[in-house]
């Protein structure tokens, strides 16, 4: 069997362009899908996929580790977020092809099923464009959270913390404290709450100030309390707060996750399987986390291929905790994609279809072509005009 071509399909989803990668083989009807969505870097990722094609076309798609090595080692330069996103999507498509060729769900190739269902969480109102509520009106914010839970979720991730620099003003701290307590009172103790700082605090001290006022509501974790990449600072922060921490969506290599494990810097890691090397990279990272006694809560606010890949990974990963999902992000989600994500009482069911069980209606996808995305990060300014971390 040989790979004959690699093509891409771009679908505009307002805040991001979903980038899907299709790997075609010389076997009639046998192809695989991967997802290379990287917010606001669409054209760069498309170029990286094209650059990597020379290492892949003509190879046997079932030699996944071999092809992964060709893409990463022959590239010579460190691939970074753009290159690793392209690698990840191609890698995912190879797993899809191999599972289809063997006539099994992809999770069978990852060691087999280790759980009966996969716990998931979503964002406020499933992160639907135009449906978000700011933090200023606490009552309206809590109404939206309650509405989200009533969609069938028992876990939700929220943004409590404002754009921050090297200071946590007392009025902001008091408001975040009141907001967090109001959300907990509204949803009760049976709903898991997570909060994403997005690395907004510019120092561990600012992060600690906000974590201290949120910790009493017992969040499942606080995500990216500081910018990623400094495992020592994260570990120091973890030892000074009474709350589990998580990070990893902006880390790409096993070495970076090994540093977190070495310092036991967080309770949970959050690799994104569309950025960290696909399933080939994700499996190595999960093993590192398990050795470091850390849970794994994969990042995924993207399209259906990334969701399906994560579902199969979660079904076969022993130290999995909870999965981020974005099914229904746009109203025409199910018009373009057939996918295996089925929500039942806060969990996804384990799929039994071949490969990832996802297919894209390319004709329908063409109705939503590439457009320059809306970039909400442009709003990230402090009161004096300083650019903040989004």
Q: Are 143 and 164 in contact (CB under 8 A)?
A: no
Q: CB atoms < 10 A from the CB of 223, how many?
A: 25
Q: Which two structure tokens, joined as six digits, stand for 353?
A: 């279809």
Half-sphere exposure of 25 (CA within 13 A, CB side): 22
Cα separation, 65 vs 88, in Å, equals 12
* Number of residues that make up the chain: 390
List, in order, residues 6 or more apart from 85 with CB less than 8 Å away. Answer: 36, 37, 38, 41, 45, 48, 274, 275
Strand pairing class (155-158; 117-123): parallel
Considering the candidates 31, 123, 263, 299, report the single residue annotated as catalytic. Answer: 299
Q: Which of 198, 263, 275, 339 is catalytic?
A: 198
3-state DSSP assignment of residue 209: helix
Interacting residues of 119 by C-beta distance below 8 A, sequence separation 6+: 154, 155, 321, 322, 323, 346, 347
Tokens representing 265 are 């810097």
Phi/psi region, residue 333 (left: phi>0; alpha: psi -120 to 50; beta: rest), is alpha
Q: Which helix (H) or strand (E) holds 42?
A: helix 42-56
Between CA 47 and CA 172 the distance in angstroms is 43
198 is catalytic: yes
* Three-state helix/strand/coil letters over 312-347: HHHHCCCCECCEECCCCCCCCHHHHEECCCCEECCE
Q: Give dist(CA 126, CA 23) in Å, integer.
A: 30
Is-catalytic flag, 123? no
Determine how many CB atoms are found less than 10 A away from the CB of residue 30.
16
- In 167-267 the beta strands, taken as DSSP E runs, fall at 192-196, 221-223, 245-247
Active-site residue list: 198, 299
């Amino acid at each position: 069997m040989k790979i004959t071509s690699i093509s891409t399909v771009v679908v505009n989803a307002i805040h991001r362009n979903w980038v899907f990668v299709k790997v075609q083989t010389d076997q009639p009807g046998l192809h695989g899908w991967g997802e290379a969505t990287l917010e606001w870097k669409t054209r760069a990722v498309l170029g990286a996929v094209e650059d990597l094609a020379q290492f892949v076309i003509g190879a046997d798609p079932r030699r996944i580790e071999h092809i992964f090595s060709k893409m990463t080692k022959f590239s010579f330069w460190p691939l970074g977020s753009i290159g690793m996103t392209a690698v990840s999507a191609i890698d995912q498509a190879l797993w899809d092809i191999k599972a289809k060729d063997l006539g099994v769900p992809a999770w069978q190739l990852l060691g087999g099923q280790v759980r009966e269902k996969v716990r998931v969480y979503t964002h406020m109102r499933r992160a639907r464009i135009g449906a978000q509520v700011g933090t200023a009106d606490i009552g309206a914010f809590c109404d939206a959270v309650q509405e989200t839970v009533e969609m069938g979720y028992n876990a939700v991730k929220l943004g409590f913390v404002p754009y921050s620099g090297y200071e946590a003003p007392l009025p902001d701290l008091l408001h975040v404290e009141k907001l967090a307590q109001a959300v907990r009172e509204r949803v009760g103790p049976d709903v898991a709450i997570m909060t994403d700082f997005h690395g907004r605090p510019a120092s561990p001290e600012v992060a600690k100030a906000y974590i201290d006022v949120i910790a009493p509501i017992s969040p499942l974790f606080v995500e990216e309390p500081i910018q990623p990449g400094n495992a020592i600072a994260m570990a120091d922060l973890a030892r000074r707060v009474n709350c589990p921490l998580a990070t990893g969506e902006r880390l790409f290599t096993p070495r970076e996750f090994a540093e977190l494990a070495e310092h036991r810097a967080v309770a949970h890691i959050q690799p994104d399987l569309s950025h960290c090397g696909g399933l080939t990279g994700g499996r190595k990272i999960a093993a590192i986390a398990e050795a470091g006694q850390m849970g794994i809560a994969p990042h995924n606010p993207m399209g259906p291929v990334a969701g399906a890949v994560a579902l199969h990974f979660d079904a076969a990963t022993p130290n999995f905790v909870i999965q981020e999902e974005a099914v229904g992000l746009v109203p025409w989600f199910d018009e373009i994609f057939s996918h295996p994500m089925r929500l039942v009482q806060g969990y996804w069911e384990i799929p039994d279809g071949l490969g990832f069980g996802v297919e894209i209606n390319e004709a329908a996808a063409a109705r939503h072509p590439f457009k320059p995305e809306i970039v909400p990060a442009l709003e990230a300014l402090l009161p004096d005009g300083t650019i903040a971390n989004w």
